[in-house]
Chain A
Amino acid sequence: MTKTPRAAPPSPADTDLMLVERTVAGDQKAFELLVLKYQRRIQRLIGRMVRDTDLVEDIAQETFIRAYRALAQFRGEAQFYTWLYRIAVNTAKKALGDLKRDPLVSETALRGNDEEDETSGVENELTTAETPETVLAAKEIAAAVNSAMEALPDELRQAVTLREIEGLSYEEIAEVMDCPIGTVRSRIFRAREAISARIKPLLENQSGKRW
């Protein structure tokens, strides 16, 4: 008796591709979901190249705009994040090139080989978009996530770790943990809910304090 081959399970990359296709079909909300998913990663990437936080956000905005314009040309041969990553790097490089040509721009806006200045402290790097409170809030949220992880039951912590940190699929996690895929889905969801419950007050606090 021959075994019928199983269809490849869907993956996060498939989700991204389907969201791209929906965007190209005219559903802007689908693109917004991609933005919400990748905004932090893109800002972190750009932040390694550019110091000024306002500029980081401007470049991140420009990255998503360029991606939106070019979505119809996205072939799906590479992963969506890889494609977006390339756009972000090119956009940041262009912005840095433009800055270097502008004699009015301060060197502190750029990263790279500039020497550490004793007089430059946190105050010089923070802009109106970032205050000591928001930096602290970000650290608090990270601490809360890690603390919530430690408080999780073993099977929930293991499932969410295998998914988020190791990047395993549900099928692979099911094999590792020797349980059905439905159980994997449920465990990961319950882990996320537990962590969300811990950080929700912090997120609301962060939103409420910005004015």
Chain B
Amino acid sequence: MDTMRTEELISALADGQLAGEAFARGVELAAADPVARQAWQTYHLIGDVLRSGEQAAGALPAEFLGRLQVRLQQEQVAAPGAASAAAAGSSRQPAQAAANDASFRWKLVAGFASLAAVAALGWTAVGGPGAKPEQAQLAGGAPTGAVLAETQRGVMIRDARLDEFLAAHRQLGGASALQMPAGFLRNATFEGPIR
């Protein structure tokens, strides 16, 4: 590899045949040396033409890249923290750590949506603004000590105040959303799973 001409090194780089120090050297050359960079461009052009039978018309690579470089500089100026954060985690670890990010985010959203639904039910059950203070206390506000716990059934919200509220809600059983006893539901109570 050490005896290869620059262009031959770039040819091997284009085919993914370099690794380790040879790869680093190839990338440095392609980035900094005009001859190497031209070779990188030309070899990929040849490949594109051979595969597609034509060269795509449009901006020349050098012009396209020139315009893009200006925008990339603006990206770096606008987000210097992102660049340094990316540099700090340059290995594959961030990629591996992010593998289930989307899944966890959806579970988090589902958890908070469940909380909002429970709070809305509670608000309805205790009769809104005219509720008694202790009931309003149970229904109002976001629980401050809430902890999200992931279980096999999904995200569970564990909070002492929420547990009290649910227990109280079970005792209210039989009341409809209209704050009137639902006559056709005799002795109906809510027997949900004990949290």
Asked if B49 and A142 make an inter-chain contact with CB atoms under 8 angstroms apart, the answer reads: yes
Question: Is B92 located at the chain interface by the 8 A CB criterion?
Answer: yes
Q: What mask results when residues 1 to 39 of chain A are scored 1 for a CB within 8 Å of chain B, else 0?
A: 000000001111111101101101111111111011101
Q: With the chains together, A146 CA to B52 CA distance in Å? A: 11
Asked if B46 and A129 make an inter-chain contact with CB atoms under 8 angstroms apart, the answer reads: no
Taking chain A's interface residues, is the majority helix, strand, or loop, or is none over half, making it mixed? Answer: helix
Q: Which of A33, A68, A193 contacts B30 (CB 8 A)?
A: A33
Asked if B43 and A41 make an inter-chain contact with CB atoms under 8 angstroms apart, the answer reads: no
Q: Given known contacts A41-B48, A72-B89, A195-B46, is B56 in contact with A12 (CB within 8 Å)?
A: no
Interface centre among B58, B60, B83, by most A CB within 10 Å?
Answer: B58
Q: With the chains together, A65 CA to B67 CA distance in Å? A: 11
Q: With the chains together, A200 CA to B44 CA distance in Å? A: 14
Asked if B95 and A40 make an inter-chain contact with CB atoms under 8 angstroms apart, the answer reads: no
Q: Which of A37, A64, A186, A206 contacts B44 (CB 8 A)?
A: A37
Q: Which of A24, A47, A139 contacts B86 (CB 8 A)?
A: A24
Interface residues of B in 144-168 (CB under 8 A from A): none
Which chain B residues lie closer than 8 Å to A75 at the CB level? 95-96, 98-99
Which chain A residues lie closer than 8 Å to B63 at the CB level? 210
The number of residues on chain B lying at the interface, defined by a beta carbon within 8 Å of a beta carbon of chain A, is: 65
Range, interface on chain A: 35 or more
The segment out of A54-62, A96-104, A111-119 that lies at the interface is A54-62
Which chain A residues lie closer than 8 Å to B71 at the CB level? 61, 65
Question: Is B54 located at the chain interface by the 8 A CB criterion?
Answer: yes
Query: What is the minimal beta-carbon distance from B145 to any residue of chain A, in angstroms?
Result: 33
Q: With the chains together, A203 CA to B43 CA distance in Å? A: 13
Query: What is the minimal beta-carbon distance from B5 to any residue of chain A, in angstroms?
Result: 8
Asked if A31 and B72 make an inter-chain contact with CB atoms under 8 angstroms apart, the answer reads: yes
Asked if B64 and A210 make an inter-chain contact with CB atoms under 8 angstroms apart, the answer reads: no
Q: What mask results when residues 31 to 59 of chain B are scored 1 for a CB within 8 Å of chain A, else 0?
A: 11000010111111111111111111111
Query: What is the minimal beta-carbon distance from A33 to any residue of chain B, in angstroms?
Result: 6
Which chain B residues lie closer than 8 Å to A13 at the CB level? 16
Query: Could you tell me which A residues sit within 8 Å of B by CB distance?
Result: 9-16, 18-19, 21-22, 24-33, 35-37, 39-41, 43-44, 47, 53, 56-57, 60-61, 64-65, 68-69, 71-76, 129-130, 134-135, 138-139, 141-142, 145-146, 149, 160-161, 163-165, 170, 185-186, 188-189, 192-193, 195-196, 199-200, 203, 206-207, 210
- Further contacts, 12 of them, CB under 8 A, given A10-B18, A164-B46, A165-B50: A10-B17, A15-B16, A24-B90, A29-B30, A36-B44, A47-B56, A65-B68, A69-B75, A72-B82, A73-B95, A73-B98, A134-B57
What are 21 A-B interface contacts by the 8 Å CB criterion?
A10-B16, A12-B16, A13-B16, A15-B18, A21-B91, A24-B90, A24-B94, A40-B58, A47-B58, A57-B64, A65-B72, A73-B95, A135-B57, A138-B56, A142-B53, A161-B50, A164-B47, A165-B50, A170-B15, A206-B60, A207-B62
